[in-house]
Amino acid sequence: MSASNTKTTSKSASKAVPESTLNFEQAYSELESIVAQMESGQMPLEASLVAYKRGNLLLEFCQKSLAEVEQQVKILNERQQLVMFNVENE
């Protein structure tokens, strides 16, 4: 019984890497991989649920990271005004 607990724990631990140890690029890459696996339709239902939960965590992390960078860009705006970044202004 303890051997099966160890297997389950090690599987969960490898999938549950805290977002704080990831950077944006790593999180985004993992999210893309999860989406591709889920879109393939080859995942069992339970694995899909686990992947969906992990994907949500990664998505929240990526959105938060982008919001923080966007705020920094606003603050560093050369006109010292809070102006939204616009690709056309480049």
N-terminal to C-terminal alpha carbon distance within the chain: 62
Higher per-residue pLDDT: 13 or 63 = 63
**Amino acid in position 83:** V
Domain borders along the chain are 21-89
State how far the Cα of 27 lies from the Cα of 44, in Å rounded to an integer: 23
The alpha carbon of residue 46 and the mean position of all alpha carbons in its chain are separated, in whole angstroms, by 20
Q: What is the DSSP letter of 88?
A: G
Q: Answer yes or no: is pLDDT of 15 > 70.
A: no
Residues 6 or more apart in contact with residue 74 via CB below 8 angstroms: 82, 83, 84, 85
Q: Beta-strand (E) ranges in the chain?
A: none
pTM greater than 0.75 (yes/no): no
Q: What is residue 72's predicted lDDT score, i.e. its pLDDT?
A: 82
Class for the domain spanning 21-89: mainly alpha
- The mean pLDDT of the chain is 77
Contact present, 23 and 15 (Cβ < 8 Å): no
**Amino acid in position 54:** R
